[in-house]
Structures are given as C-alpha cells and as structure tokens.
Structure 1
C-alpha cells in the first residue's frame, strides 16, 4: 500500500535531535510492506489528492482549532478526501480528523495527560485482537469532547472518554494516545515537560507509569489490520 504520512510536528528541540521524527516513528509502528512518503504538513506540504492509498497523521504541539493556515489547509484536505480512502490519526491526528468532520476539540479542563494511560475497549471491530484494555503512552491537553456524526468511541477512559474513534461513514480510525512512542522517548518527553515541572509529584507519577508494560505493539497491529482490511 502506498501511504502518505502527514507529519504535523516533530520532537521538542530540548531533546536535541536524539530521536527520530514523528513520521519515522509512525512508519516503524505500522511496519514494513508499505511504500511510505512523508509530507511536512505543518510546513505547508500536502499530497496530491488521490495519489496515495492511505494517510497517517502524526502528533503535533498545535491545536486542531488553531488558526494557522496549514491547519486550515489540512482540514480542507480531509473534508475533500474520498470517504473510502483510509485515514489513521494519532493524538493531533485524532483531534484534527474529528474537528474536520464535525466534532469538537478543546483544551481539557482536566489538564495534561502524561505517561501511560489505560483505555477500556468499548466496541468490537474486525481488526481488533480482543476487547482487553490497552495501556499506551500519552502526551496531550486537548481532547475530542464531541464526536463527529457517524463516529463511534472505540476506546476511552474517565480522563479521555473519546480515546479512540472509529468512523462508520468513512474508512477512518484514530487514537488520542501515542503507540508510536517508544518508552525511552516517552520518558524523555515527560522529563522537563512544563506540566511535570509545574507539579513535580505529577511528573514523578507519569514517569513511574512508563515502567509498566504497555500495549503499543498491540495497537500497531490494530492499525496494520485496519489498513490491510481496506486494501
């Protein structure tokens, strides 16, 4: 499958370039067997419509509601996209898909989610291996608070009710969490994060949570099977 990765951000400069970009992280998560092309969407790059079989949208420090021209262009791209063309979003990708297709995203009054978060799986789908809960790294304050019409909540928690969305009226799947984040990167992201510095106890708890087993590879398998089923 020819897949376009829409890279909407990159690791913080404070990490000194020690980690791969978000596009490369997503590529590693989904794995081999596909032809990937990365577009720096936060710098104005978007693929030609119809040139790729599927689209993966990365995380970003931006908000899906921000007035930046590139966000408006991405939302327009998503609205014009063939509904049968598979789209997968992670964190900001999850949010901008919801925003584009009639949902609502806001900065959560619950504050920042950092570390390893668990989601209960609320729905069944052909690409799932089971309905067992998942625990995956997160780094977000914004959340989807209203689902778009036709979307179902696949997984979530009390902190993040719409943690994963499955779209019934288009070939789309999105996650608020970051299955593409390896544990060492997730730890580096928490260490020095402004929310962790503002509340050291919160930061210590977030770091400690990342020592527990995680289900990132399992979620990566869901994404692979979702894309394979859309071929």
Structure 2
C-alpha cells in the first residue's frame, strides 16, 4: 500500500541535520507497518497528480495556520475533498488535523486559551494516551459527520474520525522528546510564554503512546477504522 505524505511545513533549518525532514520522520513512525511512501512538498507548491496517485494520504504538521492566505492551501483542500470522495483514506496530524476539518466545512482558529506544548494526556477512543503537542490553533467546530474520538480539558476536539474517510489528531505522535526539547530551546523563546515552555520541559520523559497511534494510523489506512 502506497502512502502519499503531503508535507505542509518544514523542520527548522538548524534542526534538519539532527532530526530529518517531516516525511522521513513519519516514515520512521510507520516503519513497522509495511507501507511504501511517496512525498510531496505541498508547502513549496509540489502536488500529486490527484487523489489516485496514492492509496492513502498523510498530512503533516506546519508552523502555518490553515486560515492564512497561502497559494498552496486551496489546492490542498481540493485534494483532501477529492481523496475523501474517492475513498482514499486520509490521516492528518496537527495542521493536517485542522486542514481536513476546514476543507470539509469545519472551523479552525487561534485558541484563546493559549498553547499546548510537550507531553499531553488525552482520552482517545476510550483510553488514556500521552503524546507530545505543539499548537495554539485548534478545531473549534468539527465538520458535519465528524466524530470527536479524542479530547482533554484543553483541546475539546483533539482527534476526529470521519468514518471510513479520514482520521486526524491534534498532537504529534511523530515528535520525540529530543525533537520537542529542541523546539523548546530554539523555536519556543519569544513565541511561547516561558512558564509553558518550562512546564513542558519538566514533563519530557513521560512514557509516550507513539506506537499506539502509529498502529491506529496503519489500521485506518488499511481498514478505515481505528479499533
């Protein structure tokens, strides 16, 4: 099964040598599940020929907001709608979570409650999982037909299931503690309040549910379900 990775953001330049770009990070996350991959840097205007170019699609995170005026966002939304219509399963993470919701009629905005950084606990599909997060934007109103399957007190719609069509999560199962610490050190100061960065750094080292979410993504790609 071929998964097309739609890269919507870039790893900060000074971190690429240590951590790689996002397509490789997601390939590593899903390495045990037997997929083949193609990647498209949509943030640089590189798009597939259409939804039929892969058997399933994965949309990465990004520093951009889905509501911003970028030339590549409207065609990405069109590709998402085309994939959903063609029954090509779509998985989204962070920005990917938000752009799927927006493309299908939901509403995303900068959350008035501020930032979620570092390890966060979520009730996801009936169990507690811990995943690194890095976001201020949130899905405020899911599209019609979307089921909220993951949440916590800070993020009401942290995981959305579009049965048989798409599955998306707000946090970052692909983020290791080392990468999150690097973002705290290099990207966080001046962007995120220091007390939030300090609190996030103290939580690093908590057992993460990366493998569990990777297994959910793989199951969704193959069978259109998460359990």
Common fold: TM-score over 0.5? yes
Match of 1:135 in 2: 130
Match of 2:156 in 1: 161
Match of 2:62 in 1: 60
Match of 1:126 in 2: none
Three-state SS of the structure 2 residue aligned to 1:18 is helix
Unpaired stretches in structure 1, ≥5 consecutive residues = 124-130
| Matching of residue 104 in structure 1 with residue 107 in structure 2 | yes
The equivalences for 1:1-231 within 5 A come to 1-15=1-15, 17-32=17-32, 33-49=34-50, 50-81=52-83, 82-121=85-124, 123=125, 131-168=126-163, 170-194=164-188, 199-230=193-224
Structural RMSD (CA): 1.8
Unpaired stretches in structure 2, ≥5 consecutive residues = none
> Residues of 2 paired with 1:161 and 1:196: CA distance?
27
Aligned-pair CA distance for 1:15: 2.8
Three-state SS of the structure 2 residue aligned to 1:185 is helix
How many residue pairs align between the two structures? 222
Name the TM-score, length of structure 2 as normaliser. 0.92
Structure 1 stretches of 4+ with a deviation exceeding 6 A read none
Name the TM-score, length of structure 1 as normaliser. 0.90
Deviations 1:123-155 (CA, angstroms, capped at 9, x unpaired): 4xxxxxxx2211100001100000001000010
Match of 1:127 in 2: none
Aligned-pair CA distance for 1:78: 1.3
Is the deviation greater in 29-38 or in 14-23?
A: 14-23
